[in-house]
Structure 1
Amino acid sequence: MPELIFSKETDCRYCYKCLRNCPVKAVSFRSGKSTVVVEECIFCGTCLEVCPQSARIYRKDTEKLLNLQKPFLASIAPSFFAYFENPLKAIGSLKKMGAMVVQETAVGAEIVSRRYTEVFEKSDAPVVTAACPVVVNLAEKHFPHVLKYLTPVDSPLMAHAKFLKKRYGDFPVVFVGPCIAKKEESSLVDIVLTFEELEEIIDETQAKETLPDPPYPSRARFFPTTDGINYTVSIPWEKKMVVEGIENLMKVFSRIDEYRNVFIEASACYGSCLNGPVMKKKGAGKDRILEWQKKLPEEPKIDFFEIETFRPFRNRSKSVDVPEEEIKKVLVSTGKDDPKKELNCGACGYDSCREKAKAVVLGKAEKEMCFVYLLDLVRSSSYRVVEESPNAVFVLKEGKVIYRNKLAGDLAGSDPEILTKAMNMVGNMLSLDDKRFFFVKRFSLEEGEEVLMLVDVTQEKLKDEELNRLKQETLKKVEEMLNKQMRIAQEIAGILGESIAETKSSFLELKMFMGGNDADL
């Protein structure tokens, strides 16, 4: 089975927000990788919604639809009419893509509602609806003792898929809805798309407005609303109860045995399916469903086929016993050798330090996920760095030294007045016997503490002095060289002057000889 929810590792920044918000802690951080633990995941989609980096994505199946053999049968969830601006054009687009039938999943919900009423009438224990796949996953994977209270009835989608195949034949079934978990709900459906997936591949502007195919549901169009299932069943109102949100479901499941004969409408999403993980207009869909309820044809005019809707559930929980000594070993290694040091701050994503330690033992978490542990590491590392620093560090509070590192202690031992001298040279160079040189810095910490740091610049000072010495020697040599060159130039000039005078005299004599007394040189 292909992975359903997965991480884009290049985008994950390990903020642990997904883990903090995951109600069942089905996220693993190990060896630099963040992954979804499929065996524990209930596919609620919470991690996709809360991730600030959009590093969580779900499997897209649009290509499967585009390559699907035609024709096919399409089932559209009731919240379809709340999601699309023009749902009739969206239906027309499905028809254009090869859908032989586009029918409302609420048809299956009508069948399921009848079965719910029958189950409740025969029970004297709590009855929990199983229409929401996340509720079923939660019970099967984490609260197996609740399975006996789940209605052993197909979900509306499963019932509708059976209805479609029985009425139209064995064609592929495509479901479109607001839920990611539906992708893994049943093998009765060939392809499950979310509304946003369908929106990506259809062009409503080129489609004709088309009504869904009959038969038409009655009250079941309100299945995706709060109290929508209760609205469809024939059960006394005082026996009905609505539980929404995974946290609330977990609380109810934890004490389900205390409840008596009550019908529990269970939904993982607050506001039911209208607030599903891929609904773009959350909380504003009930009015739109009511609007379309008035526009669409009325309740079905034909009898439903007799369809077997029994549905079994199975225990998929995996409880692992972790030895107490292993948990304690992890706690001690993270500095929690005393229960008082277990802050249970939840920053790592787990509710307690013990739960986090257990996850470390199981390979689902890393010790470094504890921020307190990391802070202690940084502090201890910083202490070692400061202690072995080549600079002298004094920490003062109210004028008194409360800490000094090794070098500061050595300097104070050799010169008791070192602190006073340093205080008077803040921002300047401090010389100790013209052998060691320090630049003095001073800055404040929290809670009235301040740091006096003597930065050792001896080597830099010696280098500067050596550089100055080399400069002076170089200038002296250049000056000597220039003086010598000047003397040579003067001597050469003198010699050249005598030579030119003698040459001129010889030429004059030659001229007079060759041209007479009036010859002009």
Structure 2
Amino acid sequence: MENYRELFKEILKAYYEDVFEEKIEEIMNREDIDKKSLAKVISALCGVEVKYSDSFSEDLKIAIENYQKTKTVVVSTSSCTMNCVEIDGKIICKNACPFDAIIIDKETRIPNISMDECVNCGICIDSCDNKNFIDKVEFLPVLEMLKENEKVIAAVAPSIAGQFGENVSMGQIRAALKYIGFKDMVEVAFFADMLTIREAVEFDRHIEKEEDFLLSSCCCPIWVGMIRGRFKELVRYTSPSVSPMIAAGKVIKEINPEIKVVFIGPCVAKKGEAKMDDIKDAIDYVVTFTELKDIFEVFNIDPSKFHEELSTQYSSKGGRIYGRIGGVSIAVEDAVKEMYPDKIELFTSKQASGIKECKAMLQSALDGKTKARFLEGMGCDGGCVGGPKTIISKEKGKEFIEKYGKESKVNISVNNKIMKKFLKSIDIDSIEDFKDDKKVEIFEREL
């Protein structure tokens, strides 16, 4: 079967040129293919769920035009050959899944994903050599909105720094996205500044003595999924803050409910987070960096050729370094030092990056062995810069995140005057208002 990314570009080009149904018919009529399996792949690449039939191309077009959000992100495309048994009789994907979410049907040998256990981390996608798993690509429904000239804003993760070239600025990425049809682009780092203050308030509430500790919840859905699923006893020690991605969507829509928000980031798990019941209205679609790269290629867009379009939002160094492991801890520590100087001696932090480290740190906390007061975990090695849908290495990603942070004229979020002005539009008039439970409901969720 063709490379999925190449197939996506082929489909996207046809959709843009208004020959979509003809192209789908052509692809489905190619020789030596399993039509049912290919239909699953194509549906996923179109961001929808349509079964193969004689009217497949027509049904697909209708589904895109009438997009309905579902919880499914990772799709199993075909039966398993079972030729990769690795450990304890389990095949590679089952061993790789940190949540035991993959179930192999004994009769059909089709891998099924338990939605009760799955957090859509996407690890199974990369672990399967037979490409039996694929994550939905939601750009065609986005393109449909852009073609209708709807109000759509792109919210980009801090880890986008350097992904499209070492000399490509945020202003150039903004210009490229607006060229496609987005009304504007916002940096999620700007909303991370708001969450930093919220996390500092939570630290003050939870930490009174050396035995106390707080688990950060404001970045990684894999980390939060572990806490909620495998370490439930630790939920009461966990901050109720939403992620910066969710905060971006909620704040933007509070100001203008007509706007649709598309998050652009480095991982599959964010697609799942955007579909969680309690926060599903914040972000409408998620597009990854690799998908955006493919989109740029189809539209012949080179961000480095665009003139910068600057933003009225301006993020601090603290918000910008959220994209690498340890960034949240640094940002929150700086905020605690500014807001609660009498508590700073109690601020000790520990970080875990990658599934193995996260599990170990959570187990240590559960066993009462942790000595850190603030625990930060990210499911990807190195943090978001090590996400599976990044374009550059995690080492380069960290380097660009650091550079991006140093370029900010604001060191810590507490001193971000532009953020404070922006917050007034949602009735938060001062840093003190972050202590008002009613006013900060927009930044919270039930764990």
Same fold (TM over 0.5): yes
1:233 partnered with 2:308? no
Write the distance in 1 (CA, Å) between the matches of 2:350 and 2:408.
29
| Change in CA separation of 1:110 and 1:296 when aligned onto 2, cut-off 3 Å | closer
Counterpart in the other structure of 1:9: 78
In the alignment, structure 2 segments of 5+ residues that lack a partner are 1-69, 85-90, 274-278, 337-343, 429-439
Counterpart in the other structure of 1:28: 103
Counterpart in the other structure of 2:431: none
Amino acid at match of 1:92: A
Write the distance in 2 (CA, Å) between the matches of 1:261 and 1:296.
29
1:276 partnered with 2:356? no
1:205 partnered with 2:288? no
The Cα of 1:241 is off from its aligned counterpart by 1.1
Write the distance in 2 (CA, Å) between the matches of 1:138 and 1:17.
20
Amino acid at match of 1:106: A
The Cα of 1:84 is off from its aligned counterpart by 1.6
1:128 partnered with 2:215? yes
Write the distance in 1 (CA, Å) between the matches of 2:286 and 2:214.
28
Within-5 A mapping of 1:168-183: 168=256, 170-183=258-271
The Cα of 1:295 is off from its aligned counterpart by 5.4
SS of the aligned residue for 1:233 comes to helix
SS of the aligned residue for 1:99 comes to coil
Counterpart in the other structure of 1:116: 199
| Change in CA separation of 1:168 and 1:313 when aligned onto 2, cut-off 3 Å | closer
In the alignment, structure 1 segments of 5+ residues that lack a partner are 315-521
Write the distance in 2 (CA, Å) between the matches of 1:252 and 1:293.
27
Counterpart in the other structure of 2:151: 71
SS of the aligned residue for 2:201 comes to helix
SS of the aligned residue for 1:82 comes to coil
Write the distance in 2 (CA, Å) between the matches of 1:28 and 1:274.
30
Write the distance in 1 (CA, Å) between the matches of 2:364 and 2:326.
22
Counterpart in the other structure of 2:183: 100
Within-5 A mapping of 1:424-443: none
> Given that residues 174 and 192 in structure 1 are in contact (C-alpha distance below 8 angstroms), is that contact kept between their aligned partners in structure 2?
yes
Counterpart in the other structure of 2:137: 60
1:287 to 369, 375, 399: 399
Amino acid at match of 1:268: G
| Change in CA separation of 1:107 and 1:159 when aligned onto 2, cut-off 3 Å | same
Write the distance in 2 (CA, Å) between the matches of 1:53 and 1:9.
9
Counterpart in the other structure of 1:382: none
The Cα of 1:245 is off from its aligned counterpart by 1.8
Write the distance in 1 (CA, Å) between the matches of 2:252 and 2:409.
19
SS of the aligned residue for 2:141 comes to helix
| Change in CA separation of 1:3 and 1:272 when aligned onto 2, cut-off 3 Å | same
Amino acid at match of 1:51: C
SS of the aligned residue for 2:162 comes to helix
Amino acid at match of 1:9: S
| Change in CA separation of 1:313 and 1:209 when aligned onto 2, cut-off 3 Å | same
Write the distance in 2 (CA, Å) between the matches of 1:241 and 1:227.
8
Say which one has the larger Rg.
Answer: 1
| Change in CA separation of 1:190 and 1:256 when aligned onto 2, cut-off 3 Å | same
The structure, 1 or 2, with the larger RCO (C-alpha pairs under 8 Å, 6+ apart) is: 2
Write the distance in 1 (CA, Å) between the matches of 2:326 and 2:372.
18
SS of the aligned residue for 1:192 comes to strand
> Given that residues 213 and 373 in structure 2 are in contact (C-alpha distance below 8 angstroms), is that contact kept between their aligned partners in structure 1?
yes
SS of the aligned residue for 2:161 comes to helix
> Given that residues 266 and 384 in structure 2 are in contact (C-alpha distance below 8 angstroms), is that contact kept between their aligned partners in structure 1?
yes
- What is the total number of aligned residue pairs between the two structures? 314
2:284 to 179, 190, 213: 190
> Given that residues 11 and 54 in structure 1 are in contact (C-alpha distance below 8 angstroms), is that contact kept between their aligned partners in structure 2?
no
| Change in CA separation of 1:24 and 1:169 when aligned onto 2, cut-off 3 Å | closer
Within-5 A mapping of 1:260-275: 262-275=373-386
Within-5 A mapping of 1:467-482: none
Amino acid at match of 1:274: V
The Cα of 1:310 is off from its aligned counterpart by 4.5
SS of the aligned residue for 1:154 comes to coil
Amino acid at match of 2:287: L
Write the distance in 1 (CA, Å) between the matches of 2:117 and 2:257.
36
| Change in CA separation of 1:8 and 1:178 when aligned onto 2, cut-off 3 Å | same
State the Cα deviation string for residues 271-303 of structure 1 (Å, max 9, x = none). 000001211322221212233445567575421
| Change in CA separation of 1:80 and 1:44 when aligned onto 2, cut-off 3 Å | same
> Given that residues 321 and 405 in structure 2 are in contact (C-alpha distance below 8 angstroms), is that contact kept between their aligned partners in structure 1?
no
SS of the aligned residue for 1:57 comes to strand
Amino acid at match of 1:22: C
Write the distance in 1 (CA, Å) between the matches of 2:173 and 2:132.
29
SS of the aligned residue for 1:189 comes to coil
1:160 to 236, 243, 248: 248
1:47 partnered with 2:47? no
